[in-house]
Amino acid sequence: MTGTRIPGFYNLSPEERLDLIAETANLTEDEKKVLMGLSPLSITRANRMVENVIGFIPIPLGVAANFKVNNKETFVPMATEEPSVIAAASHAAKLAYETGGFFATTTGSIMRGQIQLTNIQNPYGEMARLYENKGRILELCNEQDPTLVSLGGGAKDIEVHIIEEGESPMIVLHLLVDTRDAMGANAVNTMAEAVAPLIESITHGRVNLRIISNLADKRLVRVRGEFKRETIGGAKVVNDIIEAYKLADVDPYRATTHNKGIMNGISAVVLATGNDTRAIEAGAHAYAARSGRYRSLTHWEKNHEGDLVGTMEIPMAVGIVGGGTKSNPVANLALKVLGVKTAEELAGIIAATGLAQNFGGLKALATEGIQKGHMALHARSLALMAGADESNIDAIVERAVQDQDVRYDHILAIINSEEGRG
Ligand SMILES: CC(C)(COP(=O)([O-])OP(=O)([O-])OC[C@H]1O[C@@H](n2cnc3c(N)ncnc32)[C@H](O)[C@@H]1OP(=O)([O-])[O-])[C@@H](O)C(=O)NCCC(=O)NCCSC(=O)C[C@@](C)(O)CC(=O)[O-]
Ligand SMILES: NC(=O)C1=CN([C@@H]2O[C@H](COP(=O)(O)OP(=O)(O)OC[C@H]3O[C@@H](n4cnc5c(N)ncnc54)[C@H](OP(=O)(O)O)[C@@H]3O)[C@@H](O)[C@H]2O)C=CC1
């Protein structure tokens, strides 16, 4: 397999890049056509995926280079409309590559299904009854999904939460379900709905909601990446990145932007692999606020050698089966490019991309500022918006960057000038 550390990968043409990825991931000519949009998702298939279909909104699919996660080199497919995101991830991965890349561990694939019980008189007595009947509850849940059980997954345990805030007490029964390589919402919701009548018969309560929780705190991924002081610009850069992180850890205004930067990477891989971006985003932000204050999802520290160490712990409920992962042919191919065999492996790569993205943003902020790198790449979008085409776009962007004026009206002025008209 070709390594992912390819200097100047971004200077190749899209066709050359695709050839290289195809060779690495053993993609067929037909599969390459799917990625190039020559054999896209059919309207008939799209109409079966969601409702009231009238068309598509294409989002560019790029691959980040230079990634190594748990000693395995991998190109990372990223679907995003935002310029500079894929460049920043590749840049950060290049700098982390020297120290061995990223290292990720996961806590398993347990999801929570919530069953809300109201009309509760004696919550502690009802809680005891539920625990007494745990075996029956789990058995009925597992009857709903023999496939999952045959794969070693299924309902494993229950937790009973008493909620005494408000006018009358409530009970929320949590089903703890191992969803293996699936994100698991359908599997968990099916179990929660099927078991509700049994729960009502065990207690004197009335079941109301039956739904998965997206706060996947039993499905965490932890990732680490280290950056050598001398490769990232010296001790001052290390210190300034740590200072920037400290602000994100105490100030929700900054934490929101900081975490948005992390999600630039995470959501792009989640979308590329046909996973549920909303589920991951809701889980991430709730986890960032778990202490009662919204904080940075990452930590940045200095090690004994004065190098920068980044870590992150985040819920990552993604699948490699189910949802849109298999029904969307591009997502299917993104998974093939990643070469992942389990959802946990995918979770590790996604988290590494989020950590890399955060480093990319922080490094730019702590040094030259975000506009230089980001706006130089954003200039291409602005030029397209202002009416540039393939014949003049490169020259127009170069001129705007040279002028250090990457604004729409300036780019429009270049296009309307003699130079822009060629
Ligand atoms: C853009 C760079 C990477 C330039 O950075 P640079 O130092 O000028 O780049 P370079 O030309 O020296 O190249 C270094 C490496 O970057 C990659 N690279 C370089 N250029 C490209 C390109 N065109 N396409 C693809 N990859 C590119 C590539 O990997 C290359 O090395 P190679 O592998 O070739 O040896 C840097 O300025 C950067 O990372 N900036 C940050 C950009 C960013 O974070 N964008 C996200 C959008 S802003 C945002 O939403 C988040 C934020 C920032 O607000 C979050 C927060 O506040 O925390
Ligand atoms: N709050 C939320 O986040 C909600 C999300 N959703 C949506 O639910 C979808 C995800 O649900 P999910 O349950 O993952 O998807 P699916 O129901 O599509 O797939 C899961 C099923 O795949 C089968 N399967 C085959 N191989 C495996 C394997 N190796 N590991 C695990 N399961 C396997 C299992 O059984 P079997 O073959 O019997 O099906 C399993 O139940 C997403 O589209 C999401 O957007 C829906 C509602 C709410």
The residue whose C-alpha atom lies closest to atom 37 belonging to ligand 2 is 147
The residue whose C-alpha atom lies closest to atom 47 belonging to ligand 2 is 185
Nearest to 93 by CA among 367, 372, 352, 373: 352
The finding on whether 212 has its CB within 6 A of some atom of ligand 2 is yes
Neighbours of 165 (CB within 10 A): 6
277 phi/psi in degrees, rounded to 5: -65, -35
Nearest to 225 by CA among 282, 154, 308: 308
CA–CA gap between residue 53 and residue 44 (Å, rounded): 9
Ligand nearest to the CA of residue 265, numbered in listed order? 1
Q: Low-confidence residues of the chain, pLDDT below 70?
A: 1-2, 418-422
The answer to whether residue 72 is catalytic is: no
pLDDT at residue 2, rounded to an integer = 62
368-385 burial, b at 16+ Cβ within 10 Å, e below that, comes to eebeebbbbbbbbebbee
The answer to whether residue 378 is catalytic is: no
The answer to whether residue 260 is catalytic is: yes
CA of 362 to the centre of ligand 1 (A): 11
In the chain, % of residues over pLDDT 70 = 98
Is there a contact between 191 and 91 (Cβ–Cβ < 8 Å)? no
The finding on whether 307 has its CB within 6 A of some atom of ligand 2 is no
Ligand nearest to the CA of residue 364, numbered in listed order? 1
pLDDT at residue 1, rounded to an integer = 46
User: Annotated catalytic residue: which of 68, 91, 258, 374?
Assistant: 374
3-state secondary structure of 271: helix
Return the residue matching tokens 């009854």: 129
pLDDT, one tens digit per residue, over 385-395 is 899 988 888 89
The residue whose C-alpha atom lies closest to atom 10 belonging to ligand 2 is 323
Ligand nearest to the CA of residue 358, numbered in listed order? 1
CA of 253 to the centre of ligand 1 (A): 24
pLDDT, one tens digit per residue, over 27-79 is 999 999 999 988 778 899 889 889 999 999 999 999 999 999 999 999 999 99
CA of 216 to the centre of ligand 1 (A): 31
Is there a contact between 186 and 192 (Cβ–Cβ < 8 Å)? no
Domain ranges, ordered by start, for the chain: 9-107+219-367, 110-213, 372-421
pLDDT at residue 64, rounded to an integer = 98
Overall fold of domain 9-107+219-367: 3.90.770
What is the token pair recorded at 85? 């995101």
3-state secondary structure of 111: strand
Neighbours of 309 (CB within 10 A): 17
The residue whose C-alpha atom lies closest to atom 17 belonging to ligand 1 is 91
- Ligand 1, closest atom to CA 368? 37
Angle between helices 343-366 and 252-272 (to 10 degrees): 140
User: Annotated catalytic residue: which of 82, 157, 200, 217?
Assistant: 82
In the 3-class helix/strand/coil scheme, how is 3-29 assigned residue by residue?
Answer: CCCCCCHHHCCHHHHHHHHHHHHCCCH
| AA letter at 75 | F
Overall fold of domain 110-213: Alpha-Beta Plaits (3.30.70)
Mutate to test the pocket of ligand 1, among 84, 91, 251 (most ligand atoms within 8 A of CB): 91
pLDDT at residue 381, rounded to an integer = 86
- Ligand 1, closest atom to CA 377? 23
Assess whether the region 9-107+219-367 and the region 372-421 belong to the same CATH fold. Answer: no
User: Annotated catalytic residue: which of 276, 307, 344, 345?
Assistant: 276
Ligand nearest to the CA of residue 357, numbered in listed order? 1
Ligand nearest to the CA of residue 360, numbered in listed order? 1
The finding on whether 184 has its CB within 6 A of some atom of ligand 2 is yes
Mutate to test the pocket of ligand 2, among 276, 278, 318 (most ligand atoms within 8 A of CB): 276
What is the token pair recorded at 420? 């822009």
Overall fold of domain 372-421: Helicase, Ruva Protein; domain 3 (1.10.8)
118 phi/psi in degrees, rounded to 5: -110, -175
The finding on whether 361 has its CB within 6 A of some atom of ligand 2 is no
What is the token pair recorded at 4? 């992912």
Lining residues, ligand 1, CB within 6 Å: 7-10, 65-66, 82, 84-88, 90-91, 94, 257-258, 260-261, 264, 360-362, 364-365, 370, 373-374, 377
List, in sequence order, every beta strand (DSSP E) within 29-169. Answer: 61-64, 68-69, 72-73, 76-79, 102-106, 110-118, 154-163
The residue whose C-alpha atom lies closest to atom 18 belonging to ligand 2 is 322
